[in-house]
Amino acid sequence: MKRIPMPSPVRPTRRQFLKAAGAAVALPYLVPSAALGADGRTPPGERITMGFIGIGGQGGGHLFGGAWTYIPGGYLARDDVQVLAVCDIRRDVRERGAQRVNEYYSKKSSSGSSYKACQGYNDFRELIARGDIDAVLIATPIHWHAIMTIMAAKAGKDIYCEKPSAMTIQESRATLEAVRRYGRVYQAGTQQRSEYGGKFRRACELVRSGRIGKLQTVYSYIEGGGPVWLRWFGPGKPVPDGYDWDLFLGPAPWSPFRDYGHAHLFGTGPINWGQHHFDIVQWGLGADDTGPVEVSQEKVRYSSGVEVICGPYGDPTIGLGPGVRFPGEGGVVFVGAEGKIAVDRNVLLANPPEILGKPLRPDDVHLDRPASHSEDFLHCVRTRRRCICDIESSHRAASLMLLPDIARQVGRRLKWDPRNERFIDDAEANRLLSLPYRPPWRLG
């Protein structure tokens, strides 16, 4: 597989600059009013330029608008964003995507001229090598998330990455180190901290402000998840025209084409939804910079004594009686010495109910309140602030999702060192912190 080098920025010499400036003065030119922002649009120099890697499913929703994106028309409809590139290993998907972007901008142009600036790529390395792209949105199959995040950070891109943010704890740690090292903005696609009317934020503020007394137990409503390298043998089927099967597999073991790969092909357990739930667990605990000290398949324990049960709360009414049912979609239940709070994407419940009626005091915990998850990402790209689901919190949420699955594989309770991120005196469990890659792919 060809390697595409990351080019260094090319700066014009002073002679070249003056020559170009003189030519610009000597020749008449016309600038469309839209290019100057005269039609109310953000001038081009102030727009964030973006590339989208993986646009067939959720990535297409982010780009064009759809489920889980929460912005009408997607990033494409924003005047403060300019979409310069799309990438997909399916030729028809990327060509259709680039055409749709170009047609949209053509219609927005005051001159009605044809817009051809959005380019489609098969290989993501060509997209992130471009020096004119500020940020990338990664919505590929999960086994690509960490590698692409690290390569994008090295190339100087800010990153929005769908969950799970990594498939192993080694991958997750490597993304953290890369984003820190290269000073990039990072937002994980665990949007529950930003969306759903602020229900999750409100629940975590109340828990962390002591409204249910000393926190004792949290129910994550979901088990941990993990990775698995599937491999199959035999003659296989012909690879469909325009489908880059080798690039789809990437770091996974090579296998003959059998069928179109889906986003979670190399995941086990609830690896798709898990990070949503465990992210809220971490937020409610105020544990974005740490993790548990004991791990089993069924539960984990923190040094504070709080236990996280990897499953639903036993009473779906939360003790509120008939007519109440807590479904738990994306949600958790916090149990304290003086009450309970249950939150998911649809409801926020408390027992006793009056817990929710008391406003926060100035000295209570007040958490970030972004207008939306995408808005928070773009704001942080401009200001260089940390996103609400930044690399530190996403690393710990991903780790909390992955740890119970390692305990499941070895079949015993494990001692975990959250500072050094290693199991204590357990070489077998530590081997499961990473996964081998097919050459030439590697982390870093």
Q: What is the pLDDT of residues 405-442, one digit of tens each?
A: 999 999 999 999 999 999 999 999 999 999 999 999 99
Cβ(424)–Cβ(417) under 8 Å?
yes
Strand order in the sheet with 339-343: 348-351, 339-343, 332-336, 215-219, 307-309, 299-301, 294-295, 414-417, 422-423
Lowest mean pLDDT segment, chosen from 26-30, 135-139, 335-339, 351-355:
26-30
CA atoms within 13 A on the CB side of 312: 12
Long-range contacts of 342-346 (CB under 8 A, 24+ apart): 342/203, 342/313, 342/318, 343/199, 343/200, 343/202, 343/203, 343/280, 344/199, 344/221, 345/192, 345/196, 345/199
pLDDT mean over 243-272: 94
pLDDT of residue 110: 66
188 close to 376: Cβ distance less than 8 angstroms: no
The mean pLDDT value of the chain amounts to 90
- Asked whether the beta carbons of 163 and 225 are under 8 A apart, the reply is no
Whether residue 208 has pLDDT greater than 70:
yes
Please compute the mean of the pLDDT values over residues 243-252 and round it to a whole number. 97
Sequence letter at residue 131: G
| Confidence tier at 271 by pLDDT (50, 70, 90) | very high
pLDDT of amino acid 235: 87
Q: Residue 70's pLDDT is what?
A: 73
Place of tokens 């014009």: 12
Assess whether pLDDT exceeds 50 at residue 14: no
The pTM assigned to this predicted structure is 0.89
- pLDDT value at residue 145: 98
Is the pLDDT confidence value at 2 over 50?
no
Pick the closest to residue 381 from 72, 37, 75 (CA basis).
75
Q: Residue ranges of the alpha helices (H) in 130-264?
A: 145-154, 169-181, 199-208, 245-249
pLDDT band at 108 (very low <50, low <70, confident <90, very high): confident
pLDDT at 337: 98
Q: pLDDT value at position 41?
A: 63
Give the separation between CA 192 and CA 175, rounded to whole angstroms.
21
The percentage of residues in the chain with a pLDDT greater than 70, rounded to a whole number, is 89
Question: How many Å separate Cα 427 from the centre of its chain?
Answer: 30
Residue 340's DSSP bridge partners are 335, 351
Residue 411, Ramachandran bin (φ over 0: left; ψ between -120 and 50: alpha; else beta):
left
Place of tokens 């059998």: 258
Q: In the numeric block, which tokens belong to residue 292?
A: 């548990």
- Three-state DSSP at 179 gives helix
Cβ density class 356-376: b for 16+ within 10 Å, e for less: eeeeeeeeeeebeebeebbeb
Q: Give the mean pLDDT of 205-228.
A: 97
pLDDT of residue 233: 87
Using a pLDDT cut of 90, give the percent of the chain over it.
81
Confidence check: pLDDT of 366 > 80 = yes
pLDDT at 72: 81
Owner of token pair 């817990």:
355
pLDDT classification of 1: cutoffs 50, 70, 90:
very low
Structural Rg of the chain based on CA atoms: 24
Asked if the model's pLDDT at residue 166 lies above 90, the reply is: yes
What pLDDT score was predicted for residue 18?
Answer: 32
Residue pLDDT, tens place only, 51-94: 999 999 899 999 999 876 777 889 999 999 999 999 999 999 99
111: pLDDT confidence band, cut at 50, 70 and 90? low
pLDDT for position 40: 54
| pLDDT tens digit sequence for 135-149 | 999 999 999 999 999
